[in-house]
A and B are shown apart, each in its own frame.
Chain A
């Protein structure tokens, strides 16, 4: 036994240089993430891995070959058969990625917690971000193995023609990017749950529901829109983006719609999932907010910019409110409403204020006002959310009004402004309600459930009463009850378009806007006061504790 050997690290000259000394890529190669290496090693020793790979490859080969064979037996050109084989292959590969990626990733963090290895890992000093990256890399490596195993099947389409090598390569690049997104989704779910079975089951259920929906929306549905813009892109193809890259005319629209937009559509959710994972891996006293707030700010700016620019870029065909610019504005406003509703629920997880640990760290590191503003705290978070909500709705409404001014000489402007105001008021109300509920309860989940229940009640119940009352009395005025929910904007737009608008219904809409906007601000103010009181009580407690412990120390020191 030579215990002293433990305390003899090699001299600095023999040490492997750190990442900062070598540069990021060299550092990554020289000092790879420890979790990644260990998990890849574990996967390599898993007996069932080769059998699973074999089974997936065999199944996929049989499916693609049988579909290709069936198609080629009909009187269609080989090029069409090749295209069909390619589409079937990538669709099935998407299915593999959608199922295997989340399942593999969901297994990682929850397995550490359930297997009671998590505490040992945390105490090594690895940061949540390092752990998340290691877990991502290991799951992504496993999924890449599956993609690599099935890749040769994709080459079957070359036997028939109809697709180019570039399209196939782009298809694989997109497949790897989607694989990354699904792995990030699985990790986020895994980080939020402590039960392994629960994490896998819930992740798979969501993947099975969400995967096909996304496939239809971003596949056939989007290909129809792409076909309208670029006739060279066939309509109805599920895997149209690789084809669009090679066949669409290069220009600004190419860069915006085929490069920037897909990047944003993939990058923003991936970033969000990463931040959620890191936040769920961090301790409650740590900063779990800054990353999510940065994502929120960037996403809002991107969304607001897109919402403001979309109406004007779509041209001035048709008549308001059924013209593309009006449609785009209203769609953008609703999308923003849903996004902000989601973000209000997301930020319900905020604590009343930053922990003592964090404030100490901020002071130690001289963190500035901006850094602190991005940190945890109910009031500052919901203030930011409300501010950005107002800016985003303002930008989207302005974009619509601007487009109406250019294309339709101001026609439809009032409708757009009322739509924007109605949705803004309800979003502000929901945000204020979320903040107030969070300030009143210790349970974010409870606050989320109550907030959703209140919103659901405001949306559903008034319409039910209005329907019953309207049928019983045959009077339209009952519809005014619906002013308690954002869908009332449909009534407002209908009345504005009517030759003889019902002013009672319009006034109800205006009152609804004012009431919900004001109620949201009042609820937020109450939440702010409550959070301030909680933070003051906490600070006072620590001041008193410090004083009492100091007195105790002093008594101990002076004791004989």
Chain B
């Protein structure tokens, strides 16, 4: 497989249910070996996109390829390359973990040596299910069932994993375990597309994201590039299409019923906005003293006491402003323990890139 070939390529994808446009000219690429976060509020169109990627839904317009194969034209071949874990997937009653996985190994026609299912053993080991191999699956916890689903999608050794809300309804421990497992899968060379509307679930694992809102991709690409684009936006008047998306493309034909494929990029410039950021500063000094020093700085707009003995500082500017704040405090002989963004990068990107509209 060529290194340049994207693991997933979505081009001008549109779909509608009845009169309702669910997807409008969705375009993005997922590169091989990435953990790609597919983010958006409930109803944004994430699951519909994922169902198209997984060959379960034929799109009305556009083209979707997985490892160079068209999901509409070659679904059988695409299915061999993908492992799809739907959200809230069911499990079979009255079968054990081993029987469940052996069934899917047989269904996938995974080669076996006699009655031995080496792949099942390996899959259970990877997902830490070996000790539960004789447990009836319907009696397992949600977290364990999610692990089992993950073990299932790994049986045929797919190159691309498509996971729809894999950590929904899980307790914090199970979420951490799933996250660690994803990192491990990435280390194995798998490409992972991960959908979620819970940003904290993705923040530590994803390398690239696509943010979806009302059936459109608002922004997509590596997190670093998006953050840089946002920084550039903050420094002056801007338009939303300045963010990296795959929408800047020639006009693509639209079937009569399909929506206008290129209609989503708003062309009217938005009014200039003053970029406001917040950081949480922890200083071993009284609040009043810290506040007095920071409010003297011209770019600081507000200083408030925060939770857990921190101070929330709102300011305009970029990381250089943060550095100046720290220098001012240290110069005043105040011991600075920590400075961290109030929101993580992903949350910041999401909030700045979306309008907060729900469908």
Is the Cβ of B73 less than 8 Å from the Cβ of A545? Answer: no
User: B326 an interface residue at 8 Å Cβ cutoff?
Assistant: no
CB contacts (< 8 Å) of A45 on chain B: these are: 94-95
User: B79 an interface residue at 8 Å Cβ cutoff?
Assistant: yes
Give Cα A119–Cα B88 distance, bound, in whole angstroms: 12
Is the Cβ of A10 less than 8 Å from the Cβ of B111? Answer: yes
User: A6 an interface residue at 8 Å Cβ cutoff?
Assistant: yes
Is the Cβ of A549 less than 8 Å from the Cβ of B63? Answer: yes
User: A474 an interface residue at 8 Å Cβ cutoff?
Assistant: no
User: B125 an interface residue at 8 Å Cβ cutoff?
Assistant: yes
User: B222 an interface residue at 8 Å Cβ cutoff?
Assistant: no
Task: Give the interface residue-count category, chain B.
Answer: 35 or more
CB contacts (< 8 Å) of A8 on chain B: these are: 118, 122
Give Cα A360–Cα B108 distance, bound, in whole angstroms: 24
CB contacts (< 8 Å) of B114 on chain A: these are: 14, 16
Known: A121-B107, A545-B252, A545-B253. A38 touches B99 (CB 8 A): yes
Q: Closest A-chain residue to B188, C-beta based?
A: A3
Give Cα A46–Cα B104 distance, bound, in whole angstroms: 21
Is the Cβ of A6 less than 8 Å from the Cβ of B157? Answer: yes
Give Cα A541–Cα B58 distance, bound, in whole angstroms: 15
Is the Cβ of B113 less than 8 Å from the Cβ of A38? Answer: no
Is the Cβ of B122 less than 8 Å from the Cβ of A285? Answer: no
Choose from A15, A355, A549 the contact partner of B113 (Cβ within 8 Å).
A15
Is the Cβ of B108 less than 8 Å from the Cβ of A125? Answer: yes
Give Cα A551–Cα B251 distance, bound, in whole angstroms: 10
Is the Cβ of A1 less than 8 Å from the Cβ of B184? Answer: yes
Give Cα A123–Cα B161 distance, bound, in whole angstroms: 13
Q: Closest B-chain residue to A38, C-beta based?
A: B103
Known: A1-B184, A15-B111. A357 touches B89 (CB 8 A): no
Q: Which of B105-153 contact A (CB under 8 A)?
A: 106-114, 118-119, 121-123, 125-126, 149, 152
CB contacts (< 8 Å) of B251 on chain A: these are: 548
Q: Which of A315-370 contact B (CB under 8 A)?
A: 355-357, 360
Q: Which of B213-263 contact A (CB under 8 A)?
A: 249-256
User: A42 an interface residue at 8 Å Cβ cutoff?
Assistant: yes
Is the Cβ of B94 less than 8 Å from the Cβ of A116? Answer: no
User: A213 an interface residue at 8 Å Cβ cutoff?
Assistant: no
User: B80 an interface residue at 8 Å Cβ cutoff?
Assistant: yes
Q: Which of A103-139 contact B (CB under 8 A)?
A: 115-117, 119-126
Is the Cβ of B255 less than 8 Å from the Cβ of A285? Answer: no
Is the Cβ of B73 less than 8 Å from the Cβ of A116? Answer: no
Is the Cβ of B112 less than 8 Å from the Cβ of A123? Answer: no
CB contacts (< 8 Å) of B12 on chain A: these are: 545, 549
Is the Cβ of A6 less than 8 Å from the Cβ of B119? Answer: yes
Instruction: Give a binary string over A1-37; 1 marks a CB under 8 Å from any B CB, 0 the rest.
Output: 1111111111010111000000000000001001101
Give Cα A4–Cα B93 distance, bound, in whole angstroms: 30
User: A284 an interface residue at 8 Å Cβ cutoff?
Assistant: yes
Give Cα A555–Cα B152 distance, bound, in whole angstroms: 41
User: B33 an interface residue at 8 Å Cβ cutoff?
Assistant: no
Is the Cβ of A541 less than 8 Å from the Cβ of B92? Answer: no
Known: A3-B126, A34-B106. A285 touches B112 (CB 8 A): no
User: A283 an interface residue at 8 Å Cβ cutoff?
Assistant: yes
Known: A6-B119, A360-B73. A34 touches B86 (CB 8 A): no
Known: A37-B103, A545-B63. A117 touches B256 (CB 8 A): no
Choose from A14, A125, A285 the contact partner of B72 (Cβ within 8 Å).
A285
Is the Cβ of A42 less than 8 Å from the Cβ of B93? Answer: yes
SS class of chain A's interface: helix, strand, loop or mixed? Answer: helix
Is the Cβ of A549 less than 8 Å from the Cβ of B252? Answer: yes
Known: A41-B99, A42-B93, A284-B58. A9 touches B125 (CB 8 A): no
User: B56 an interface residue at 8 Å Cβ cutoff?
Assistant: yes
Q: Which of B1-51 contact A (CB under 8 A)?
A: 11-12
Give Cα A6–Cα B121 distance, bound, in whole angstroms: 9
Is the Cβ of B122 less than 8 Å from the Cβ of A548? Answer: no
User: B286 an interface residue at 8 Å Cβ cutoff?
Assistant: no
Choose from A115, A283, A360 the contact partner of B58 (Cβ within 8 Å).
A283
CB contacts (< 8 Å) of B252 on chain A: these are: 544-545, 548-549, 552
Q: Which of A252-284 contact B (CB under 8 A)?
A: 283-284
Q: Which of A484-540 contact B (CB under 8 A)?
A: 537-538
Is the Cβ of A124 less than 8 Å from the Cβ of B118? Answer: no
Is the Cβ of A34 less than 8 Å from the Cβ of B107? Answer: yes
Is the Cβ of A117 less than 8 Å from the Cβ of B111? Answer: no
Central interface residue in B106, B107, B109, B110, by most chain A CB within 10 Å: B107
Give Cα A552–Cα B110 distance, bound, in whole angstroms: 39
CB contacts (< 8 Å) of B249 on chain A: these are: 552, 555
Choose from B86, B93, B188, B254 the contact partner of A119 (Cβ within 8 Å).
B86
Is the Cβ of A116 less than 8 Å from the Cβ of B89? Answer: yes
Known: A37-B103, A116-B90. A6 touches B126 (CB 8 A): yes
Is the Cβ of B95 less than 8 Å from the Cβ of A7? Answer: no
CB contacts (< 8 Å) of B154 on chain A: these are: 6
Q: Closest B-chain residue to A4, C-beta based?
A: B188
User: B76 an interface residue at 8 Å Cβ cutoff?
Assistant: yes
Is the Cβ of A42 less than 8 Å from the Cβ of B107? Answer: no
CB contacts (< 8 Å) of A548 on chain B: these are: 250-253
Is the Cβ of B58 less than 8 Å from the Cβ of A285? Answer: yes
- Min CB distance, A39 to chain B, in Å? 9
CB contacts (< 8 Å) of A3 on chain B: these are: 122, 126, 184-185, 187-188
Is the Cβ of B184 less than 8 Å from the Cβ of A125? Answer: no
Is the Cβ of A1 less than 8 Å from the Cβ of B56? Answer: no
Is the Cβ of A6 less than 8 Å from the Cβ of B99? Answer: no
- Min CB distance, A361 to chain B, in Å? 8
Give Cα A537–Cα B58 distance, bound, in whole angstroms: 18
Give Cα A421–Cα B137 distance, bound, in whole angstroms: 63
CB contacts (< 8 Å) of A6 on chain B: these are: 119, 122-123, 126, 154, 157, 188
CB contacts (< 8 Å) of A545 on chain B: these are: 12, 61-63, 252-253
CB contacts (< 8 Å) of A126 on chain B: these are: 107
Q: Closest B-chain residue to A112, C-beta based?
A: B90
Residues in B lying within 8 Å of A, measured CB to CB: 11-12, 54-56, 58, 61-63, 72-73, 75-76, 79-80, 82, 84, 86, 88-95, 99, 103-104, 106-114, 118-119, 121-123, 125-126, 149, 152, 154, 156-157, 184-185, 187-188, 249-256
Q: Can you list 12 A-B pairs, Cβ within 8 angstroms, ordered by A?
A: A2-B125, A2-B126, A5-B119, A7-B157, A16-B114, A38-B99, A42-B93, A117-B91, A120-B89, A120-B104, A120-B152, A124-B79
Known contacts A34-B103, A117-B92, A552-B11; can you find 14 more A-B pairs with CB under 8 A?
A3-B184, A5-B125, A6-B123, A37-B106, A38-B95, A45-B94, A119-B86, A119-B89, A124-B156, A125-B80, A125-B109, A285-B58, A357-B58, A541-B254
